[in-house]
């Protein structure tokens, strides 16, 4: 009996000692229930373009990013962009319109300022000595277009323009050359126009005002007296 009681007492002491050790370990180590926090320092790091970053934070730079313009058009406010688009649409419309009249491919009509001038004066009636949009004669019309489009100054009358021009054969005519006619018979020059392309020329005719006509026209063909060129 005494031996059994002794063994039992000794076992209890061992068990109590073990529980005490476990409690001490539990009290000292609470890592399982603790959220780990890590504080960053306040040291700043500087990168390219003046961007500063403090560890643990994000700081935006004051430096603005420059936009890169693309394309060949001008950049600016919305009004400028709209105007540019309108100019392109107008140019395309003029090319389509006069490609039909001249009977030429649209891509061949590249002189937009010339088309704009023709369109501006189109249908203005003819009158001798006229030089306005109310009425105009043939030599005033060529004088204005050559000045505005080709930057060439011409004398006032058709005969004077013929006298000062460099002679050009029919097969060598180029856009901007002058074409001369004699409407009263003989060799005197009484009418002038500006050659375009595909055998067509623009002029202020006595019957239809400012228009475009073919050199092979049955009225104008026999009256043709030659071409002339003025250098810019």
Answer for the pair 50, 63: CB distance below 8 angstroms, yes or no: yes
Two structure tokens written together for 33: 């229930």
Provide φ and ψ at 203, rounded to 5°. -160, 170
- pLDDT tens readout for residues 30-66: 434 444 444 444 444 443 334 343 333 333 333 333 3
* Annotated catalytic residue within 19, 127, 135, 138: 138
Active site residue 138: yes
Could you tell me which residues come within 8 angstroms of residue 120 by beta carbon, excluding any fewer than 6 positions away? 133
19, 127, 135, 191: which one is catalytic?
A: 191
Confidence of residue 184 (pLDDT cuts 50, 70, 90): confident
On the question of pLDDT at 220 being above 90, the answer is yes
Cα separation, 116 vs 48, whole angstroms:
52
**What is the set of domains in the chain, with CATH numbers?**
111-229 (3.90.1720.10)
Residue 76 reports pLDDT greater than 80: no
Cα angle 193, 197, 202 (rounded to 5 degrees) comes to 25
pTM as predicted: 0.63
What size, in residues, is the chain?
Answer: 232
Q: Is 127 a catalytic residue?
A: no
Query: Could you confirm whether 191 is annotated as catalytic?
Result: yes
């Amino acid at each position: 009996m005494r031996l059994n009681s002794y063994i039992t007492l000794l076992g209890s002491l061992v068990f109590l000692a073990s529980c005490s050790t476990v409690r001490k370990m539990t009290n000292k180590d609470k890592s399982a229930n603790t959220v780990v926090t890590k504080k960053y320092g306040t040291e700043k790091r500087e990168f390219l373009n003046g961007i500063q970053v403090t560890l643990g934070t994000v700081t935006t730079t004051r430096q603005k990013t420059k936009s890169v313009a693309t394309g060949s058009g001008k950049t600016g406010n919305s009004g400028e962009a709209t105007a540019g688009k309108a100019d392109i649409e107008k140019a395309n419309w003029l090319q389509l319109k006069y490609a039909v009249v001249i009977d030429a491919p649209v891509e061949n009509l590249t002189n937009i300022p010339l088309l704009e001038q023709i369109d501006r004066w189109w249908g203005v009636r003819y009158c001798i000595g006229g030089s306005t949009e109310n009425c105009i004669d043939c030599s005033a019309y060529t004088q204005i277009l050559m000045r505005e489009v080709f930057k060439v100054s011409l004398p006032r009358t058709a005969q004077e323009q013929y006298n000062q021009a460099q002679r050009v054969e029919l097969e060598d005519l180029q856009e901007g050359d002058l074409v001369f006619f004699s409407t009263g018979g003989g060799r005197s020059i009484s009418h002038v126009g500006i050659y375009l392309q595909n055998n067509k020329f623009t002029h202020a005719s006595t019957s239809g005002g400012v228009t475009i006509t073919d050199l092979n026209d049955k009225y104008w063909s026999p009256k043709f007296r030659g071409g002339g060129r003025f250098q810019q």
